[in-house]
Amino acid sequence: MESILIFGPNVAETLVEDITTELRRRYGHDVVSVPVTWRAFTDGESTLRLDGNVRGRDTYVIQSTNAPGNLMAMKLLLQAANLASAGRLTAVIPYFGYGRQDRKDQPRTPITAKLVAREIEAAMGVSQPRHVVLVHPHFSQLQGFFDIPSDVLFPTEEFVGVISKLDTGGKPLVFVAADIGGVKQADVFAKRLKTPMAIVHKRRDPTTGELGEATVIGDVRGYACIVVDDMFDTCGTLRHAAVALCEAGAASVYACATHGIFSGPAVERIAAAPVQQIIVTDTLPQVDGGFSGRVRTIGCGKLIATAIWCDNTDNSLSSLTV
């Protein structure tokens, strides 16, 4: 069955290439990437035109939703495909922006993650089957914010393949959850590579939100520690964890996260952190950005392409969701 791919404006070039290459390897020429013409008005509004026929075809719109412009681009792409009479319509979201706003953590605040989920559903219309594919969202319960079928992918195999080949100078590995929320993912890695695991328990000032004392739970002395998280943004948690691990006797510290956001003071904090290498995927476009080669990007295009193939051929995605 012919599949249509529509890529949003901020999808990493490596991700576009890997997805299309893998799908064409599986399908041959039955995969078409539809170009998009974007137009900006003088007042800052934007619009688009899909430069290809999607009528009645399985259509996959691929775009991360971080930042207001990217979220709007996703909604425009989805509605354009819907109004062009696409067949089964799937929103593939490599990085779900606003995912950290998943609850009312203070009085009189919105639950923005739920709002974004509803907006994406609305843009997809109701006239055809709809589906959402997410890559490692900040919290797994995000699926419950959608009223349409959704699947969550984890790039476990991609990270295991790279981490298993790290040169740690002969030091044994231990996976470390950067905070309590990362325990499940650290445990998955530890079981796959048959290593122990540890946790960095961090405390924040309830007024300022600043990180305070960090406690390492578990034995890391003499180990090469792999700090695991879902994303690295300003890298305050990563720096805090790395310092705590070194003080607890770690031989070295590495780090991995699915999403490399690296905003605000990230460059300065990474420069000051005792971390030898940071591994992220291309769910967001990556540039060196002053990291002096310490950030390594691995591809998750094959993971997303496999999910698209499974969806298109009505095969199970369960092997990709752990």
Report how far residue 290's alpha carbon sits from residue 293's, in angstroms, rounded to the nearest whole number. Answer: 8
Task: State the catalytic residue, choosing from 104, 184, 202, 302.
Answer: 202
Helix, strand, or coil here: 117? helix
- One-character DSSP codes across 55-75: BTSEEEEE----HHHHHHHHH
Cβ-Cβ contacts under 8 Å for 133 (sequence gap 6 or more):
90, 91, 92, 93, 150, 151, 153, 304, 307, 308, 311
Report how far residue 20's alpha carbon sits from residue 42's, in angstroms, rounded to the nearest whole number. Answer: 34
Report yes or no: 280 and 257 within 8 Å, Cβ to Cβ: yes
Report how far residue 49's alpha carbon sits from residue 38's, in angstroms, rounded to the nearest whole number. Answer: 7
Residue 104 designated active-site: no
Length of the chain: 322
- Maximal CA-CA distance, the chain: 60
Q: How far separated are the first and last CA of the chain, in Å rounded?
A: 28
Report yes or no: 148 and 131 within 8 Å, Cβ to Cβ: yes
Report yes or no: 227 and 174 within 8 Å, Cβ to Cβ: no
Residues assigned a catalytic role: 202
